[in-house]
Amino acid sequence: MAATNLNRVFRIIMGVFVFASVAISGFLYHRLDTHGLAAMDARLAEVRPWFTGLRLTLLAAVIGGWNWWVRRLADYGGLTETQRQRALSLRWRIAGWLVCLDLLLAEGLWRRIGEQLRAILED
């Protein structure tokens, strides 16, 4: 029963992410097709601070609410006390990975590293 509940939650979450991804992709394609790349780039530059705030808020909600999230999902999924303690102990490891991914992907760290390496190799 517990695995079924967690499986259902996982499927719902994945369905929401897939739907959101398709909807956002469709919207961006429509916007690109009707307004052009320059207008879309200008609009993305305008909303970048909002996206940054949303990203940091979600990151803080996951890290700050980790104990609450684990308790709720463990109760819903029927996890044992050992599994719950293990999930609680993973908080800072997961937080570290989320921050690393945020720096690498959202903040363009890969691009900056590539530019630095290219500059070093060209000299």
Q: Name the residue range of residue 53's domain.
A: 2-89
In a domain, residue 108? The reply is no
Q: Quick check: 21 pLDDT over 80?
A: yes
| pLDDT score of 3 | 60
pTM over 0.85: no
In a domain, residue 85? The reply is yes
In a domain, residue 115? The reply is no
Name the domain count of the chain: 1
In a domain, residue 7? The reply is yes
In a domain, residue 95? The reply is no
In a domain, residue 117? The reply is no
| pLDDT score of 39 | 86
Contacts by 60-63 with C-beta closer than 8 Å and gap 24+? 62/94, 62/95, 62/98, 63/91, 63/95, 63/98
| pLDDT score of 82 | 93
- Host H or E run for residue 105: none
Distance separating alpha carbons of residues 74 and 64, to the nearest angstrom: 17
Q: Quick check: 1 pLDDT over 80?
A: no
Neighbouring CB atoms inside 10 A of 83's CB total 14
Mean pLDDT of 65-88: 90
In a domain, residue 81? The reply is yes
Distance separating alpha carbons of residues 123 and 120, to the nearest angstrom: 5
